[in-house]
Amino acid sequence: MLTFIGLGLFDKNDISLKGLEAIKNADMVFAEFYTSRLMGSTIEELETLYCKPIHVLSREDVEISPNWLAEAQEKNVVFLTGGDTMVSTTHVDLRLRAKDMDINTRLIHGSSIASAICGLSGLQNYRFGKASTVPHPYTSIRGNTIISETPYDTIKLNKEHDMHTLIFLDIDKDKGYMTVNQALGLLLEIEKRRGEGVMENAIAVGIARAGSDEPIVKAGYVRHLQEEDFGEPLHILVVPASLHFIEAEAFVKLLGAPQEILDELDD
Amino acid sequence: MLTFIGLGLFDKNDISLKGLEAIKNADMVFAEFYTSRLMGSTIEELETLYCKPIHVLSREDVEISPNWLAEAQEKNVVFLTGGDTMVSTTHVDLRLRAKDMDINTRLIHGSSIASAICGLSGLQNYRFGKASTVPHPYTSIRGNTIISETPYDTIKLNKEHDMHTLIFLDIDKDKGYMTVNQALGLLLEIEKRRGEGVMENAIAVGIARAGSDEPIVKAGYVRHLQEEDFGEPLHILVVPASLHFIEAEAFVKLLGAPQEILDELDD
């Protein structure tokens, strides 16, 4: 039996009772922390809570040669990830391999930014369109800096249909965790090039350390938000479409957005 | 202090360790179960786990006269809901009222169908567009049966942009929990009237009891899926856009969809 367990948003205590019990009953505990990791706990802290060792898998162990899967043919094996479980394609692939090996699988879900974003921002869940990611720029063979235009296009498309956009920020082993400020800077640079008015005068929401005891959540005009300090990672960005009244009220009263956002709705 | 706690997807053991600790430390425990409830546990079972009584709030207590909020000015009060916390507009409104009363608020997240849908179906999270709800039909003053066309329009719009659609199914005090079968029947009726080819020959995914030990998840052509028995509530429906290879593979190998879905991709 292979049980996929989502550890939840931030630290060791975000796991569900059901998830912890499954770990306690497991013969072996595997985890991958390269697609998503808990920012608020170390692996040692997890091992102390579980009272057993965790085998941390590399990308190769997960995607190329997951030989450890064979353990689940005879034993109770759990596979841990940050956030909810099986959100990454890589995990679906593992489940398919397990199926081919006649291993039963089971999922135990954890909290995820996909829903947490609503509570944190006050934005309504059914108004979100497609999500996107702002990747770090890279240097082409000719030495040019390439900035992906995909997130800009996604925000534009969603706005055309009055949908909010959740934007994940790149995590790179070498280039580090992208900040809200960097992401806004990149989006404004594409705006400067294309001039389509998607980001200029737009309102955005920057979120840091969702799921922690003291997340930072700030809403405001992009130019102002770019000046704010969001502190430690992970950061997430939302670019909303038009705001319903209660969404605007949440922005102003809870997230520090300027009063004029609400006044404009009254006009 | 007012702490909003999401109880997670299905039963009492879906709460996080963090959530349970906050309840144990609370002076008073309030809950509302009319926007979302745990299908797998009774209120008595929750009270036994928490070792304290739960004050279950009516819609009026939450939306019209939430006098109980005053308790949070002096005491540690927790407010429980099924799924993740603060996903409903009603909860944002409570948080705004608390802010007006100078009550500090804090969120503890729980697992939610918004992310669980990905693991359960194998569909990629960033490919979902706007979500929708299929409501129960109602009878107009003139005695006609009215079927909402909104979910049909949402599926159509999302498909035009190659996005999947998550569809919530109505929960009504009198008309009951809508099933996958009923929802597909209503969508096909709109298709018959409008003939826009959104549902005819479409693939869909029906999900029942997400978060339980034995959820049912089946993918297939709408006409076939309509014949399946999904058992007890809650049911959820997904109408995907075009399928990427691994999504189609998950449909065929894990969710019982016909092999031709994969064969068509190879052509």
Which tens digits make up the pLDDT trace of A28-83? 999 999 888 899 999 999 999 999 999 999 999 999 999 999 999 999 999 999 99
- Using CB atoms, pick whichever of B12, B125, B211 lies closest to residue A109: B211
Nearest 5°: CA angle at A68, between A62 and A70? 125
> B31 pairs with which residues across the strands?
B56, B80
Give me the pLDDT at residue B105, please. 97
Across the interface, whether the CB atoms of A95 and B8 are under 8 A apart is answered: no
Given strand A235-239, what is the order of strands in its sheet?
A132-134, A165-169, A235-239, A203-208, A216-221
A182: DSSP letter: H
Give me the pLDDT at residue A267, please. 64
Torsion of Cα atoms, B11 then B12 then B16 then B17, to 10°: -150
Give me the pLDDT at residue B149, please. 97
Q: How far apart are the first and last CA of chain A?
A: 60
Across the interface, whether the CB atoms of B254 and A157 are under 8 A apart is answered: no
Which B residues, 70 through 99, put their C-beta within 8 Å of a C-beta on chain A?
83-87, 89, 91-93, 95-96, 99
Q: How far apart are the first and last CA of chain B?
A: 60
Burial B88-112 (b: 16+ CB within 10 A, else e): bbbbbbbbbebbeeebebebbbbbb
Q: Domain extents for chain A?
A: 2-111, 114-266
- With 0-12 CB in 10 A as exposed, 13-18 as middle and 19+ as buried, what is A222? buried
Confirm whether pTM is higher than 0.90.
yes
Give me the pLDDT at residue B266, please. 72
Structure tokens at A35: 């697609």
> Does A206 contact chain B (CB < 8 Å)?
no
Which tens digits make up the pLDDT trace of B72-130? 999 999 999 999 998 889 999 999 999 999 999 999 999 999 999 999 999 999 999 99
Which B residues, 145 through 204, put their C-beta within 8 Å of a C-beta on chain A?
157, 161, 163
Q: What is the arithmetic mean of pLDDT over A236-258? A: 97
Closest CA to B29 of B41, B46, B12: B46
The kind and range of the H/E element at A228 are none
- Sequence-distant (≥ 6) Cβ neighbours of residue A56 within 8 angstroms: A30, A31, A32, A33, A43
| Domain boundaries B114-266, corresponding CATH code | 3.30.950.10
Q: How far is CA B215 from CA A23, A107, A205, B62, B231, in A?
A: 20, 10, 35, 31, 10
- With 0-12 CB in 10 A as exposed, 13-18 as middle and 19+ as buried, what is A208? buried
* Residue B110 with chain A: CB contacts under 8 Å: 16, 111
Given strand B203-208, what is the order of strands in its sheet?
B132-134, B165-169, B235-239, B203-208, B216-221
**Average per-residue pLDDT in chain A?**
96
Shortest Cα–Cα distance, A208 to chain B (Å)? 14
- pLDDT-derived band of residue A110, with 50, 70 and 90 as boundaries? very high
Neighbouring CB atoms inside 10 A of A37's CB total: 18
Residues B156, B196: Cα–Cα separation, whole Å: 9
Name the amino acid, one letter, at A83: G
Which A residues, 106 through 125, put their C-beta within 8 Å of a C-beta on chain B?
106-107, 109-112, 114-116, 118-120, 122, 124-125
Residues of chain B with pLDDT under 50: none
Closest CA to B118 of A90, A14, A264: A90
* Residue A83 with chain B: CB contacts under 8 Å: 115
Structure tokens at B171: 């929960």
* Residue B16 with chain A: CB contacts under 8 Å: 8, 13-17, 110-111
Structure tokens at B97: 């009222």
Q: B interface mutation test: which of A17, A80, A164 has the most B CBs within 10 A?
A: A17
Q: What is B2-111's CATH topology?
A: Cobalt-precorrin-4 Transmethylase; domain 1 (3.40.1010)
Q: How many CB pairs under 8 A join A and B?
A: 181
Across the interface, whether the CB atoms of A15 and B20 are under 8 A apart is answered: no
- pLDDT-derived band of residue A87, with 50, 70 and 90 as boundaries? confident
Is there a contact between A91 and A81 (Cβ–Cβ < 8 Å)? yes
Is there a contact between B132 and B169 (Cβ–Cβ < 8 Å)? no
Across the interface, whether the CB atoms of B254 and A99 are under 8 A apart is answered: yes
Shortest Cα–Cα distance, B162 to chain A (Å)? 10
Q: How far is CA B208 from CA A49, A82, A127, B39, in A?
A: 32, 25, 24, 11
Q: What is the arithmetic mean of pLDDT over A130-140? A: 95
* Residue A87 with chain B: CB contacts under 8 Å: 115, 118-119, 125
The per-residue DSSP string of A114-150 comes to: HHHHHHHH---GGGB---EEEPPPEE-TTSPEE---H
* Residue B133 with chain A: CB contacts under 8 Å: 126
- With 0-12 CB in 10 A as exposed, 13-18 as middle and 19+ as buried, what is B67? exposed
